[in-house]
Amino acid sequence: MSVFYETMYILRPDMGDEQVTQAIAKYENLIKEAGASDIEIQNRGKRRLAYEINRHRDGIYIQMNYTGPGTVIAVMERAMRLSEEVIRYLTIKQDQTEAEAIEVEETEAVTPTAV
């Protein structure tokens, strides 16, 4: 069964553009091999952290949205935990995709309500 997931991770701020691109490709390929599909990746750029993490005040935020089986999460998070380039990560399970939410809103807008 495929479920919609969102993973946000923070890379070290001292990484160059090429290293960031390689890290993104690494995790994208990792989840593809584990069975994920519909992968969308957004590089949110370098931002100030709310608090210091491993002596870093800034970080490069990356957001990945994808669908896949639950086994994808364990593989990817293990790789992130062992990597020194990722300073924080978080994966959440979405209840419904944005497309489904838009379809529901459109259906509710079209359907007249009885008074």
**pLDDT digits 0-9 by tens, 62-93:** 999 999 888 889 999 999 999 999 999 999 99
What does the domain layout of the chain look like in residue ranges? Answer: 3-110
Distance, C-alpha 95 to centroid of its chain: 15
State the pLDDT at residue 43: 92
Q: Which fold has domain 3-110?
A: Alpha-Beta Plaits (3.30.70)
Distance, in Å, from the CA atom of 91 to the CA atom of 110, rounded to the nearest integer, reads: 35
Q: What percentage of the chain carries pLDDT values higher than 90?
A: 64
Distance, in Å, from the CA atom of 40 to the CA atom of 98, rounded to the nearest integer, reads: 12
Q: Is the distance from CB of 26 to CB of 55 less than 8 angstroms?
A: no
Distance, in Å, from the CA atom of 64 to the CA atom of 82, rounded to the nearest integer, reads: 19
- Picking from 48, 61, 56, 49, the residue whose alpha carbon sits closest to that of residue 89 is 61
Q: What residues are paired with 8 via a beta bridge? A: 63, 90
State the pLDDT at residue 95: 79
- Picking from 79, 78, 10, 72, the residue whose alpha carbon sits closest to that of residue 38 is 72
pTM of the model as a whole:
0.77
Q: Please report which confidence band the pLDDT of residue 98 belongs to, taking 50, 70 and 90 as the band edges.
A: low
Q: Is the distance from CB of 28 to CB of 72 less than 8 angstroms?
A: no
Q: In the predicted model, what is the mean pLDDT of residues 43-66?
A: 92
Q: In the predicted model, what is the mean pLDDT of residues 36-55?
A: 91
Query: What is the rounded end-to-end Cα distance, in angstroms, of the chain?
Result: 40
Is the model's pLDDT at 99 over the cut of 90?
A: no
- Picking from 19, 41, 20, the residue whose alpha carbon sits closest to that of residue 32 is 41
